[in-house]
Structure 1
Amino acid sequence: MEKNRPPIWLLPNLLSLDAPLVAVAWMWMLARALRVEYVHPTAWWVLPAAIWCVYVADRLFDGWSHPDIRESSPRHAFHWRWRWLLVVLVLGIGSACMYQALYVLPRSMFSAGLVAIMLCGLYFLVAFFQGRDVPFVKNFLAGMIFAMGVGIPVNAANASLLVTDFNDVVYAMRNTGLIDAIWNFGWMVIRTLLVIFHQCREMLIFGLLCMMNITAIDLWERAESAPDQETAYGHESTLTFGLIVLAGGSLVFAAMYADEYSKPFYYAVMVAAAVLQGVNHYRDHFSANAQRVLADIALLIPLPIFLVF
């Protein structure tokens, strides 16, 4: 193997295929937890394709706004090297996803997807102005947007996702005025967030797990470059505390709010958090690239739980 050729096990991470795979796996688990027997077939490929586009755009954006990251991160270096091909692919795949959302998927999914796109815009705005500290706000937004993407197709099949959809916004703009259109749009945003994260508590817990997954990689990278052991230990302790709270919260939700169908979902979050903590504790035994791959594997390990329960 050539010296500069990446190992095969790193390719899914370099190609941004790990996040789409995680999304499909957790959408299947969520459908099982909510007893949803039918999810629109198109959603099974539109969701991972859209997530792939967002991840590639994010890494290209990072490479453009922070040139130093092209040297320190193999993922960003790879994306920047192939940036023009990736831009063409993102535009083509993104257009195909938009066509499916407009003309194939249910209108409720399109309306909820607009809310997710709006949050993506907020995410990139925060990313542009972020400093050198650990970007907790950015990671929180990323985790919740990822959870929304997983939850929207399942919630659309499970119940009426929205009281107000985008058609009502357009109708108000054409017939009753701008104020009514803004009101309808605001209610659409609020209703979507309530359905995804309040009525479906599984998505809130999963969003926090995604946040911890992203934050783990950030903290590990900062620990590697920390000037002293005390700073590195502080990063590890911060992550440990967050994962313990997440695992404990999942256990509480499983005991107090979950039925026999949704309990495995909370157990899956708890197992994923425990595996992440295991990687965190023994991270000195792994390379930086292996740590990133293991962080994603931690989110896939709980999948067999739904085959047992």
Structure 2
Amino acid sequence: MTAETPAREPADVRRTPWWLWPHVLSLEAPVVAVLWQAALAHAHGIRLTPLLGAGLALACWVVYLLDRTLDTLAVKNVAELDVRHAFYHRHRRVLLLGVIPPALLLLGWMALCVIPQGVLWQALALALLVALYLASWSAQGSRVSRDVFVSCAGLGGVLLLSRMPISSGTKFTLSLLVLGVMVLSFLRQLDIRMGNVLPKELTAALLFAMGCTTSTRFFAMPETIAEPVLECLLLTLLFGCNLHGITCREAGLQDEHRHARLVLGTLGFVLAVLWGVELGLLQHSLFGPARAALGAVLLHSVVQAARRRYSVEAYRVLADVALILPLPLAWW
């Protein structure tokens, strides 16, 4: 587990160890999302139906399947792929034609028949942002895929605006703005990649955090917007440490100073939230998640400090485990 895998060894001839399969099959992200959603629900004193957890897990899994499959479409040298992407490159036709479409149909049925309407509209808005994310980063190697995701996001945005409780004039203006963005994107006059403003890792972390907090944000019905914003930001920074750490490890530790600043900033923010709760300035429902986040940041720091002892694959697994192990702190 601690042996370094040769970087240029063809991925299809490497043997995948048993402990790496959950990562290869993209099962780690749904597990993290569902467990953190459960921790947030407990902190808010609400009980979510199991189908909400199943819907979140399935949606998260589909997004990761699309993200990792689209990453392999423009690959020219298969030998340079890691074990994870080599798997998606070999099975991309099965995934795109036989796995993802039925999963999307099941998600559609759950959205129409199972998910409460308030949660549904928040989930649809998040789905539009995910579509833009996939178009911005994952589908850049395929113009057709990129245009499909931009079209879905644009048309979905217009549909969502038509159902919002705002004036007709505002709906018309915002719809024209959305359609204008679509046209500029199709004409290649607009680069929707926002890497210079918000790096890919933090964008993905923000979307992931928004997904984890969608149900609790609706059912908890907070009196002010401060609590859900702080809660989402707390998870965004935590998940950002995870994703940025993995990126740095894959890049050969070339950006470790920026990662150290991100970890220290996250630690400071978590401690500030805990201090605010202790002083009575913030809602007590933030205490459990912040305590679990504190444990996760500290455990991530331990994994990061020992990063040279582990292979890239082992580091990925340990970084994800660091997000889960401290979760019991949210219940104490």
**2:324 matched to which residue of 1?**
300
**1:228 matched to which residue of 2?**
none
Correspondence for 1:151 among 194, 199, 213: 213
CA shift for structure 1 position 141 = 1.7
* Aligned AA (2:29): A
Contact 2:16/2:83 (8 A) holds in 1: no
* Aligned AA (1:238): R
* Aligned AA (2:248): L
Using the alignment, how far apart are the partners of 1:22 and 1:134 within structure 2?
28
Correspondence for 1:112 among 117, 122, 130: 122
Contact 2:291/2:330 (8 A) holds in 1: no
Correspondence for 2:28 among 11, 14, 18: 18
> Equivalent residue of 1:65, what SS?
coil
Is residue 243 from structure 1 mapped to residue 272 from structure 2 by the alignment? no
**1:179 matched to which residue of 2?**
none
Name the stretch that deviates more: 70-79 or 274-283: 70-79
Contact 1:25/1:300 (8 A) holds in 2: yes
Contact 1:30/1:154 (8 A) holds in 2: yes
Using the alignment, how far apart are the partners of 1:135 and 1:14 within structure 2?
30
Residues 82-115 of structure 1, C-alpha deviation per residue, up to 9 Å, x if partnerless? 1122222111112101111122211111110111
Using the alignment, how far apart are the partners of 1:135 and 1:222 within structure 2?
21
**1:30 matched to which residue of 2?**
40
**2:298 matched to which residue of 1?**
274
> Equivalent residue of 1:5, what SS?
coil
**1:55 matched to which residue of 2?**
64
**2:81 matched to which residue of 1?**
72
Using the alignment, how far apart are the partners of 2:312 and 2:235 within structure 1?
25
Instruction: Rate the CA distance shift 1:57–1:202 in 2: closer, same or farther, 3 A.
Output: same
CA shift for structure 1 position 297 = 0.5
Instruction: Rate the CA distance shift 1:293–1:22 in 2: closer, same or farther, 3 A.
Output: same
CA shift for structure 1 position 67 = 4.1
Contact 1:198/1:204 (8 A) holds in 2: no
What pairs with 1:209-224 in structure 2 (closer than 5 Å)? 209-223=238-252
Count of aligned pairs between the two proteins: 263
* Aligned AA (1:143): A
**2:163 matched to which residue of 1?**
none
* Highest RCO, 1 vs 2 (Cα 8 Å, sep ≥ 6): 2
Using the alignment, how far apart are the partners of 2:210 and 2:109 within structure 1?
20
Contact 1:31/1:154 (8 A) holds in 2: yes
- Percentage identity across paired residues of the two chains: 28
**2:287 matched to which residue of 1?**
263
**1:188 matched to which residue of 2?**
none
* Aligned AA (2:290): Y
CA RMSD of superposed structures (Å) = 2.6
Unaligned runs of 5+ in 1: 162-193, 225-231
Q: Which 4+ stretches in 1 moved above 6 angstroms?
A: none
The normalised TM-score by structure 2 is 0.73
* Aligned AA (2:258): T
Contact 1:134/1:218 (8 A) holds in 2: no
CA shift for structure 1 position 21 = 0.4
**2:52 matched to which residue of 1?**
43
CA shift for structure 1 position 306 = 2.9
* Aligned AA (1:265): P
What pairs with 1:225-240 in structure 2 (closer than 5 Å)? 232=254, 235-240=255-260
Using the alignment, how far apart are the partners of 2:74 and 2:82 within structure 1?
14
CA shift for structure 1 position 269 = 1.1
Contact 1:147/1:203 (8 A) holds in 2: yes
CA shift for structure 1 position 71 = 2.7
Contact 2:227/2:283 (8 A) holds in 1: no
The normalised TM-score by structure 1 is 0.78
Is residue 86 from structure 1 mapped to residue 95 from structure 2 by the alignment? yes
> Equivalent residue of 1:304, what SS?
helix
Using the alignment, how far apart are the partners of 1:67 and 1:296 within structure 2?
29
* Aligned AA (2:35): A
Contact 2:273/2:290 (8 A) holds in 1: yes
Residues 211-246 of structure 1, C-alpha deviation per residue, up to 9 Å, x if partnerless? 22111111111126xxxxxxx3xx122111110110
CA shift for structure 1 position 70 = 6.8
